[in-house]
Structure 1
Amino acid sequence: MREKPTLRIPLGILALLVALAAYALAVMWASQWIEQTPVAVQTVVYLVLGVVWLLPLRRFLIWMETGRWG
């Protein structure tokens, strides 16, 4: 249990929301080129883009809780 509260969790949540919004906007911007590809390619691209944002999430959540990156 933490001895005293820190600002890591509220600031981390705000940073996560900002980063996810920026990522979603980037995917929306890239969709103008993605839509010109065949449907099978679009499916793979959107599946990858839908999962890739999860990769750094574990370490970020650990940092929010402990202050360490791992």
Structure 2
Amino acid sequence: MRELAEHQSIAVEVRPERAGHAPHTVFVDDFDDRAAGTAARGIEPVRRDTYGNGVRKAPYRDPDGNEIGFGGAPL
């Protein structure tokens, strides 16, 4: 995890077995609204995670295995 600027971070994982498959997570202030808006367009996450510290994540994948997820602060 690297902080790019105040309240802006990026996490990089080296996973050669997934070369060509890019996972990304964007941490947003409006997690619930964003998830609802995405679902309204007929797109559902592959799962919904809540970590021990309460942080939430909803990852989405395309058929090629690329992943983008939205993350949000604890409720």
Q: TM-score range by the shorter chain?
A: under 0.3
TM-score (normalizing by structure 1): 0.23
Structure with bigger helix share is 1
Which structure has the higher relative contact order (CA within 8 Å, separation 6+)? 1
With the length of structure 2 as denominator, give the TM-score of the two structures: 0.22
